[in-house]
């Protein structure tokens, strides 16, 4: 416990985009932080890889070190802020920090999604806090509302735009008609997308965040390996135009659902993929690189959390919020609520996920083809909501929008269609989320 007035010692691991802003805020807000915590917050070390790298903040003389392990194992640190990223050495450093008596604040979604339980168990054993608000949706307070504000409610669904890079690209495709490659190039030129955009574009970043959201929302353990994932690289300008025709917009969504099973047990479904949503849905208005998370719960109804999901300063805001909470807990000799995984729910395979589908089928333009296509849908139990023909002769295309069906039913339908003589190609399949059935 930190006695009133005794400085609270903080070590920061990493001084890149986020770490530099954490260090800056610790210095600039020192007086206010001390008042809020009840004792001065003293930065005692900043671990980095390269001592001579240019920094966006001036780190006080003598605080920079390349010996991160030495810093976290000093034994007198109250809070370690981990903003290095990746799995190792971040995991070992967090475990060491906890073992040596520090509480930990981290922004590391990759680590929390891959191996959160190891960290939670270590925090529990050490009797210390582990907070990670910045790991999902940057500055947006979403983990604390799920963990604390909604702790008396039953969350049934979380729908999130949790990756700014892909939202920027899809927004650009929607507003300018650009193809994926051109929109990605613009995102890179503006600094939204990294030189290697794989983690964002292929949905890995969003899948990690979905795992964290689902774990907290449904009081169970979900790791990134449990999350079905599709990125946006295959989304074409034609898909975006088709969405527009339906008064929809394409978004990369993280979808976490609580589903009652036939045996009465509740299981969870967690997936990340591009989907059409109606322009009237609150998530449709999330533009550029912004993030938003739409939560549905039994008592509260629908809630929307919106804001900047990335960037050094916004992310540092969430880190500092956790830091103040953890610091107050230490002063008062209490722990935060920690992990809540009592429900231990099964994670459903993607084949059992239920949604609606927009399917574009290139067909022969002759009498009877519509009937055979409709029969293929019917044979696999997929009910058709609307169907229309686009183009004529060699350009003929049937665009089917289904009612809700499982992914397995839809996959079987597509395989069936692909084997039909009158079908040249199933040119696009896109899920449809949000709005009424």
Ligand X SMILES: NC(=O)C1=CN([C@@H]2O[C@H](COP(=O)(O)OP(=O)(O)OC[C@H]3O[C@@H](n4cnc5c(N)ncnc54)[C@H](OP(=O)(O)O)[C@@H]3O)[C@@H](O)[C@H]2O)C=CC1
29-34 CB contacts, 8 Å cutoff, 24+ apart: 29/320, 33/320, 33/324
Size of the site for ligand X (CB under 6 A): 25
Q: Of ligand X, ligand LTNE7NMQ, none, which one does residue 160 interact with (CB within 5 to 8 Å by kind)?
A: none
Among residues 51 and 367, whose Cβ is nearest to ligand X? Answer: 51
Q: How far is the CB of 224 from ligand LTNE7NMQ (least distance, A)?
A: 14
Q: How far is the CB of 68 from ligand X (least distance, A)?
A: 4
Say whether 14 counts as a known binding-site residue.
yes
Decide if 6 is catalytic. Answer: no
Q: Of ligand LTNE7NMQ, ligand X, none, which one does residue 18 interact with (CB within 5 to 8 Å by kind)?
A: ligand X
Binding site for ligand LTNE7NMQ (CB under 6 A): 163-165, 200, 205, 309-310
Q: How far is the CB of 289 from ligand X (least distance, A)?
A: 10
Among residues 197 and 434, whose Cβ is nearest to ligand X? Answer: 197
| Binders of ligand X in range 118-137 (CB under 6 A) | 134
Say whether 15 counts as a known binding-site residue.
yes
* By the rule CB under 6 A, 84 interacts with ligand X: yes
Among residues 204 and 357, whose Cβ is nearest to ligand X? Answer: 204
Q: How far is the CB of 121 from ligand LTNE7NMQ (least distance, A)?
A: 25
Residue 94 neighbours by CB under 8 Å, 6+ apart: 80, 82, 104, 106, 111, 119, 122, 130
Binding residues, by number, are 13-20, 109, 194
Question: Which residues are known catalytic residues?
Answer: 209
Residues annotated within the binding site for L-homoserine are 194
Binding-site ranges for ligand X (CB under 6 A): 13-19, 47-50, 53, 68, 83-85, 89, 107-109, 134, 138, 310-311, 315
């Amino acid at each position: 416990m930190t006695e009133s007035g005794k400085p609270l010692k903080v070590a920061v691991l990493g001084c890149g985009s986020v770490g530099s802003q954490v260090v800056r805020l610790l210095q600039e807000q020192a007086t206010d932080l001390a008042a809020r915590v009840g004792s001065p917050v003293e930065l005692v070390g900043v671990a980095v890889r390269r001592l001579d790298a240019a920094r966006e903040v001036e780190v006080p003389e003598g605080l920079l070190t390349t010996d991160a392990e030495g810093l976290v194992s000093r034994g007198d640190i109250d809070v370690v802020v981990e903003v290095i990223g990746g799995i190792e050495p971040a995991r070992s450093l967090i475990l060491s920090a906890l073992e040596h008596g520090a509480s930990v604040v981290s922004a590391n979604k990759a680590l929390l999604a891959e191996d959160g339980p190891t960290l939670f168990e270590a925090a529990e054993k050490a009797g210390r806090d582990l907070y990670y608000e910045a790991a999902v949706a940057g500055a947006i307070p979403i983990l604390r509302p799920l963990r604390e504000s909604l702790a008396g409610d039953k969350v049934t669904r979380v729908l999130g735009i949790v990756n700014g890079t892909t939202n920027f690209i899809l927004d650009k495709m929607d507003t300018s008609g650009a193809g994926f490659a051109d929109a990605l190039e613009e995102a890179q030129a503006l600094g939204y997308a990294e030189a290697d955009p794989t983690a964002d574009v292929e949905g890995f970043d969003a899948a990690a965040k979905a795992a964290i959201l689902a774990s907290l929302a449904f009081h169970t353990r979900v790791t990134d390996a449990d999350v079905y994932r599709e990125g946006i690289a295959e989304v074409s300008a034609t898909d975006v135009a088709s969405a527009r025709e339906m008064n929809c917009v394409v978004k990369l969504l993280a979808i976490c659902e609580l589903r009652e099973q036939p045996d009465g047990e509740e299981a969870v479904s967690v997936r990340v993929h591009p989907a059409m949503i109606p322009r009237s849905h609150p998530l449709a208005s999330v533009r550029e690189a912004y993030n938003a998370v739409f939560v549905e719960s039994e008592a509260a109804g629908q809630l929307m959390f919106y804001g900047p999901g990335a960037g050094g300063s916004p992310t540092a805001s969430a880190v500092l919020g956790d830091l103040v909470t953890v610091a107050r807990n230490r002063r008062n000799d209490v722990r935060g609520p920690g992990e809540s995984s009592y429900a231990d729910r099964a994670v459903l395979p993607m084949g059992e996920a239920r949604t609606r589908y927009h399917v574009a089928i290139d067909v022969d333009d002759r009498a009877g083809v519509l009937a055979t296509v409709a029969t293929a849908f019917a044979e696999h139990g997929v009910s058709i909501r609307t169907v229309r023909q686009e183009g004529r002769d060699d350009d003929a295309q049937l665009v089917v929008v289904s009612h809700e069906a499982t992914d397995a039913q839809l996959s079987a339908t597509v395989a069936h269609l692909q084997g039909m003589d009158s079908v040249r190609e199933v040119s696009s399949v896109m899920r449809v989320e949000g709005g009424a059935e």
